[in-house]
Amino acid sequence: MLRRFACLLVVGLAVSSACGRQGFDEPETVCRGVDCDGHGACVSLNDAPWCVCDPGFHNQDGIGCAADSDPCAGIDCSEHGTCAVAVDGTVLCACDAGYQNDGPTSCVPYAVCTQDIDCDDGLYCNGSETCQEGSCRPGSGDPCRAAGLICDEGSDACTGCGNGVVDEDEHCDPGQPRSDNCCDPRTCTWVAPGSTDPQGVCAPTECQSNACGGASRCAAQNVTAGTQCTDSSPDDCLDAQCDGSGSCDQAYDFEGRTHVCDDGLYCNGVDLCDGSGGCTLHTGDPCQSSAYLETFEAGFSPGDELGDHPDWYDGDDDLGPQVGSGVGCAGSVGLTPGRWIFIWTAHPFDWKAPNFKRVILEMDFESQFDGRFDDDRVGWTIDCESTDTSNVFGVQLDPGPFELGLQIEGYWDIEDEEDYRPEIADLMGSISAQTWYRLRAEISKRSAVSARIDVMLWELDASCEIIEPPVASGSIADTAALGADEPDGKYFTSGAMWPVFKNFSGRQGEVDNARVEFILDSSGVCNEDSDACE
């Protein structure tokens, strides 16, 4: 709803105490039931309802808002210009510097220019192009604007009635000095309330959509709360959005955990927001390898949803695993099966870092009553606020089609196919029922978008220690050599990755002891003063 109206001082006109009120009152009962087709706000204009429409919509029949037509829809000017519409409706491309029109809706490169005429892009209304040092420079701008007239591309001429004087049969005049905003320069009459100001005085702002409100008045309409606006501090963890009252609130909401921030420190690595306004997540010391182990003992209580812990995310829908006493490996605290993946948000890493070498992921899984596993997985995700499996790259223990038998397999998206599962190691006949095993996946960087994958599976003894040798192992030497089965590049080019695990509830069997290790190709002591490893 319109909450306030702008009162502008106009050159040559006195400002009265009733500015913005006369003939344009706060809507009362006259606006009852008028919703402006959901694309504007109703105001009371001379005791009658009138819709001030949103940008891209125009007033229709006083109490409706219809979408503006767009004659430039679908015209991209060969990606080297901007579509322009002349007064007569002619559509032409205003080409970028170094390009010229080739037909009305495309732009092609110029040859090297030697004189001004070589740079003429064929448009009149963007001014004259010039040749400088062999390169075409953009036009000088609308040649008609200074005179308060409008440019007609069809006739290559300035048209309109403006001469700076309100003549007989004219209501206003947009000529110089340009004192009459909301005056149509073609007819020297006021534009209808709700229309865009042809003089540009009622210019829109990020959080207000301004239009003409009758005669020379501007009527401000506040943009819906939550609409994005310019963030003056993009590296903090507060998101700038319109507050619904016309202002851009720099602390309207918290940035998500995928947002890169900056805490001013170099030696804790790349920083990420924690989803609660803090810049507390870090990829770790850029000069040292690091390892983390979660036993689910400290800071957890039996019955807790894992996703309620600040270091973990499981979809916030009660379908993730629960903490259970005595269900873990060797009777420790562990996790019961869950429906969705669970993400270790406390430990992001960056595959793209120049010195990043490999990531090692481990978890202890209990086999089911029939000696099988079902989608028991370790890997990483490229979105720490989603349980969508298309974001996950890793390996898993899977029964597979029964004719193939139990196996360790890769897990990722390929072109035109989701959740592709290439076999890495055969487990048929190797797994005992209701027995604990440790799955290890070592994923090493081969290139910016490919990896080597080595997997091993050990049986664990009563003390939760591995029994050598492993019951199974296997490798993929280079995912880039898989051809059509190569993983989607999104898994390696994302801004950050987070360790991810899954213990599917389709078959009963607990999990315990999540571990990740990040191996870097260089070492040294991080110097905060020099932002370097020494």
Where does 33-156 have alpha helices with state H?
none
Rg (CA), the chain: 33
Question: What pLDDT sits at residue 458?
Answer: 98
Task: Please give the domain boundaries of the chain with CATH numbers for all domains.
Answer: 24-69+160-222 (no CATH), 77-158 (no CATH), 285-520 (2.60.120.200)
More confident residue, 226 or 195: 226
Cα–Cα distances (Å) from 490 to 18, 47, 272, 377, 476, in that order, read 60, 58, 19, 19, 19
Cα–Cα distances (Å) from 25 to 42, 44, 49, 319, 502, in that order, read 11, 5, 10, 54, 61
Q: What is the pLDDT of residues 267-293, one digit of tens each?
A: 999 899 988 999 999 988 999 999 999
Question: Out of 131-140, 239-248, 288-297, which region has the weakest mean confidence (pLDDT)?
Answer: 131-140
Can you give the length of the chain in residues? 534
- CA dist 393 and 379 (Å) reads 6
Mean pLDDT score, 254-273: 91
Contact 337, 505 (CB under 8 A): yes
Q: Which residues contact 237 (CB under 8 A, 6 or more apart)?
A: 254, 255, 259, 261, 273, 274, 277, 278, 279
CA atoms within 13 A of residue 404's CA, in its CB half-sphere: 14
Strand boundaries in 332-463, DSSP class E: 334-335, 342-344, 356-366, 376-381, 392-398, 407-414, 417-420, 423-426, 436-447, 450-460
CB atoms within 10 A of CB 239: 21
Name the phi and psi angles at 394, rounded to 5: 175, -155
pLDDT band at 202 (very low <50, low <70, confident <90, very high): confident
Q: What is the pLDDT of residues 141-196, one digit of tens each?
A: 888 766 667 787 777 877 777 777 788 888 887 765 455 678 887 788 888 887 87
Question: What pLDDT sits at residue 192?
Answer: 85
DSSP assignments along 223-272, one per residue: PPTT-B---S-TTSSEEEEE-SSS-EEEEEEEPPTT-EE--S-STT-SEE
Strand boundaries in 77-174, DSSP class E: 81-85, 91-95, 99-101, 107-109, 130-132, 135-137, 150-152, 157-159
Q: How many helices (H) and strands (E) does the chain have?
A: 1, 40
- CA dist 316 and 314 (Å) reads 6
Q: What is the pLDDT of residues 29-85, one digit of tens each?
A: 788 888 889 888 888 776 788 888 887 778 888 888 888 777 787 788 888 888 877
For residue 467, give the nearest of 458, 456, 457, 479 by alpha carbon: 458
For residue 273, give the nearest of 243, 226, 241, 233 by alpha carbon: 233
- CA dist 79 and 96 (Å) reads 9
pLDDT tops 50 at residue 4: no
Contact 288, 301 (CB under 8 A): no
Q: Which helix (H) or strand (E) holds 501?
A: strand 498-502
Angle (CA) 160-165-170 rounded to 5° is 65
3-state SS, residue 69: coil
Q: Which residues pair with 380 in a beta bridge?
A: 393, 499
- CA dist 161 and 373 (Å) reads 81
Place of tokens 């006021």: 190
Contact 455, 441 (CB under 8 A): yes
Mean pLDDT for all residues in the chain: 83
- Burial bucket for residue 481 (CB in 10 Å: 0-12, 13-18, 19+): exposed
3-state SS, residue 36: helix
DSSP assigned state of 331: G
- CA dist 442 and 425 (Å) reads 14
Q: Is the pTM of the predicted complex or chain greater than 0.85? A: no
